[in-house]
Structure 1
Amino acid sequence: MTRVIKLIVTFFLGAGVGFLFPMVFIYLDLNELSMVWTLQNIIWVVQSQNLITFSFYALPLVFAIVSVLFMLNLEKNKEIKAASILMAHMAHAAGMGEIAAEVIHNIGNVLTSVFASIEKSSMIISRSKYNTAKDAEKLLVEKKNLFPEIFSKDEKLNQLLDYYVLYTKMTVEEYESISEELEKLRKKIAIIRDILMTQKSYAYSKAFSEKTTAAKMIEASIRIFQDKLNTFKILLKTHLAEERTIDTQSSKVVNILSNLIKNAVEAMEESNDKFIEISTENMKEWVKISVRDSGPGISDDKKKKIFNYGYTTKNKGAGLGLHSCYNLAISLGGKFEVVDPKEGPGVVFNVYLPVK
């Protein structure tokens, strides 16, 4: 019930904001015409000008819809975060793959609903009559020169026409801006859905080994964070050796690599030259996957404790990520280490997977 009340309040607040725009223009109209600010005069202005009439009803609705969608998006982000935390705790008592798949499935259903709402809102915007107002403004400007004696004698009428043209332009720009933001939101949700599908495919992976390659697991891990890499303008470098088939649990390896990429992105927040370098090397008994970042690096003293449970170098970290990576690598019969790069800034994490 509380959620419904929040959405209703958000709807009316959005409508109120949208209502302010035509009220401002009505106020300016009344001042221009030297009319008193009364309910009767307001109704006269609304009824006498089609564009104001249209905006008087349309803008509150548009702002209300966008506000509700924004609130829904915030709530879904909270739900996703809460679901992720719940999944992490429940994984100790049940199979990680089954739980992850269930959570991802539920989140996917919610995103599908949000996606449908965005599509519907975009359709409403595309069918609106603001293009008619745009054409009317264009026609008025063209025909103004046919009646120079009218507009030259009445300065207020001339100002009113100029104001009408300006108002139409502003309204059209607002509609186009809303359409653009809806399209951006639609694309972002589409990216989230792609990420969930990638996660879901590995969440359903069984706890037995399968034949795969380092390149496939690296590609899956990069896909999860591709949008974040683009957002923070982080250059991704890959140097992959010749493909070599190995028997391993790919879901665990993707988990390790995803943690390393996530940590690398966070470590480079204050770096100027941001890059992540992922490389592979075929050894006699191992396939080595290295993940390097250009962050501030890790001191030798901290390297000794970096894999300990609860130890973190972050202000808001829980100290579980690298500890989990270490345990996952060991469970695969592999090794996990942290070293300094041969040259330049940053740190390198090496994952050794046994060749079976």
Structure 2
Amino acid sequence: MATDYKFQGWLGYSPESVKGQMKWDNFEPKKWTENDVDIKITHSGICGSDLHTLASGWGETKYPCCVGHEIVGIVVRAGKNVKGIQVGDRVGVGAQARSCLLPSCLDCSTGRENYCQSGRVDTYNAVYPDGEGNSYGGYSDYNRTDYRFVVKIPDGIPSEYAAPMLCAGVTMYAPLRNNGCGPGKTVGIVGVGGLGHFGVLFAKAMGADKVIGISRKASKRDEVLALGADKYVATDDDQDWIKENQRSIDLIISTVSSEKMPLSGYLSLLKVGGDLIQVGAPDGGNLPPVNAFTLIASRIKIGGSLIGSPGDIREMLQLAADKKIKPWVETRPLSDANQAVVDMEAGKARYRYVLVNGKHAGASKI
């Protein structure tokens, strides 16, 4: 089936692309299969993962690379095998585009496709099996993805809100849900930025008794409290922050991606039996060393969490629609992607940039 649209986007050709040197160019999407949908992109969030990938921070990137895995748009083509999605639907794609989906896979068969190790394909900078080609992301006009990793966006969520939820939102929602966030719990969110601000919003929406925002600088205090946090801790500026908050938190979600973070200090904030779940991924993957007695003395645990499954995303979006969650986003034109990436790297986003494709934005149908 011939199409009258081209796959074009902002491509990084080297680690220098993260410095505002992406180039608008054509790319060849994955080979079409009858399980696929083509999406006319209207919105694409900018994620910290995009910057790490453009810079080859998590290993050598497969250049040319089009990043962006917080994609919202309108379906313009659907394969014969596609179920539950049709041309004209407003849909989203998160950080994952494929898994093995085999009944024998312990992860895929139990709704944990995001942990599949045998057939996982990321939305960008990955290679599909069986010669289907490379994956390309959302800083572009169109995206092609297997329908089983495409989710419908509830009517109550504006596209500029939905886009960053598809990665940042679910990256925080999943560990909160999986680790008991709810009534009776005190939850700490370490690193209140693009990821962390979703942690505050979702922890409150899930009914946590108390939510504590934890970041380095006191300058964020008013913003974090305005998001709904009950308390704010500035680890660089608040003297005795460890002593004053010791053993006060049931669950901490850490978004910090630095091997120099005060991890032992964070752990000291946990109650006996508390958990710290790491979602931030430093370049190189290294965390600060932890003394075994820190864990033993308080029966605390360190764990991790990776994005979320398609089922997690659907569940999160419904909660966001029901609770009318409003992330803090700033829209930027897709044509301004290079400058937006530079500004994101400089920490100017409050708290998430969303690229708007001026050619497609406002479209409610094909």
The answer to whether TM tops 0.5 is: no
TM-score by length of 1: 0.24
Greater fraction of residues in helix: 1
Greater fraction of residues in strand: 2
Greater relative contact order structure (CA < 8 Å, 6+ sep): 2
TM-score by length of 2: 0.24
